[in-house]
Structure 1
Amino acid sequence: MPLLSYRLDESHLVVELCNVVDPDNESAIEQELLTLLPCCGPSTVIVDVVTPLLTPRALGVLLRVRGDAEQRGVSIAVVARYETAREALSAAALNRVLRVAHTLQGAELRSRGCRPGAVAPRRGGLLERLERRVTSSDPVPLTARAVGPYADTSLPRFPGKG
């Protein structure tokens, strides 16, 4: 069973995992992934999980391939495009171990050591304005108060000051 693979750039090889891993195809998929692990080529292999169903067998294959890749000096990152696949990886506590990302760009950033959810820097964007607001040493204006039916419960209460 050949897996579709292509180079993202000179240091990233992307391998698409399109099929659900079950007992019938587990060894064939693992063998294919191991043969795609280069001995001296790209430094990162990104496994792009295109299927929404990530079985325990698939998790085992990914972990075994990661172990072999580490011995060869190659790092593994996983792109989990579907929420169900991300939930399975999270429930197995493999987000950090397998460097799980939502997109290829995110996996590329994770392979460089960037934190999860990192995006390419953009100037003047909403994220930059929010970061500036959060890191600003200016005090929060008193007019910015919580609103809603439970807003007053979030304020500290002192005995005798009603």
Structure 2
Amino acid sequence: MFLLSYHLDAAHLVVELGTVVDLDNEAAIEREIVRLLPCCGPRAIIVDIRTPLLTPRALGLLLRVRGQAEERGVSMAVVAGYEKAREVLSAAGLHRVLRVASSLPGAELRNRGCRPVPEASRNGKPGDRRSAPQTAGASQRPLGPYADTSRPRFPGEG
């Protein structure tokens, strides 16, 4: 199987997926895209879906390729030019996960500054960017005007 691929710029490799993914071609398409990952050099890959029909096999393929790209430190976005393809991705809850855009410039913007986070930094150790450090004497109660609306209120409690 041969997929058309080209460099959009120095940081983005575009792979065009112009066929419907089914049982017969799924493995070959996945091998081809994964083969392009290590040699692409850019920090981002964009899969340009050129068909309105997205099968469950195509969704699984995109998720697997995204996972393998993330392992290599390459971020991935998907261009779905057809409204029907975007609806399928949205209904499957993959719109944000796959960084779906309707055009190549949109996918390029979604990938800008969105490098995959290494597995070690996802553990949520104190002092990491994602977890705020605990200060001495800090209240454990939620803050904000609507923070206590889900908790029962008792007279005399403040």
- Work out whether the TM-score is over 0.5: yes
Alpha-carbon distance, 1:38 to partner: 2.3
2:66 alignment counterpart? 66
Alpha-carbon distance, 1:39 to partner: 5.6
AA at the equivalent of 2:74: V
Question: Quick check: 1:52 aligned with 2:52?
Answer: yes
State the superposition RMSD in angstroms: 1.3
AA at the equivalent of 1:34: V
**Paired positions, count:** 114
Question: Quick check: 1:85 aligned with 2:85?
Answer: yes
Question: Quick check: 1:21 aligned with 2:36?
Answer: no
Q: Could you report, residue by residue, the CA deviation over 1:36-66 in whole angstroms, capped at 9, with x for unpaired residues?
A: 1126710000000001101110000000000
Q: Displaced runs of 4+ in structure 1, greater than 6 A?
A: none
1:107 alignment counterpart? 107
Q: Are the counterparts in 2 of residues 39 and 72 from structure 1 also a CA contact under 8 Å?
A: no
Q: Please give the secondary structure, in 2, of the residue aligned with 1:19.
A: coil
Share of identical aligned residues, percent?
A: 74
Alpha-carbon distance, 1:108 to partner: 0.2
Q: Please give the secondary structure, in 2, of the residue aligned with 1:38.
A: helix
Q: Distance in 1 between matches of 2:99 and 2:113?
A: 9
Which has the larger displacement, 104-113 or 10-19? 104-113
Q: Please give the secondary structure, in 1, of the residue aligned with 2:38.
A: coil
Kindly name which structure, 1 or 2, has the bigger radius of gyration based on alpha carbons. 1
2:128 alignment counterpart? none
Q: Distance in 1 between matches of 2:25 and 2:35?
A: 15
Q: Distance in 2 between matches of 1:60 and 1:78?
A: 13
Q: Distance in 2 between matches of 1:31 and 1:90?
A: 25
AA at the equivalent of 1:80: A
2:6 alignment counterpart? 6
Q: Are the counterparts in 1 of residues 80 and 100 from structure 2 also a CA contact under 8 Å?
A: yes
Q: Distance in 2 between matches of 1:12 and 1:95?
A: 20
Q: Are the counterparts in 1 of residues 13 and 40 from structure 2 also a CA contact under 8 Å?
A: no
Q: Distance in 1 between matches of 2:79 and 2:92?
A: 16
Give the structure-2-normalised TM-score.
0.70
AA at the equivalent of 1:47: V
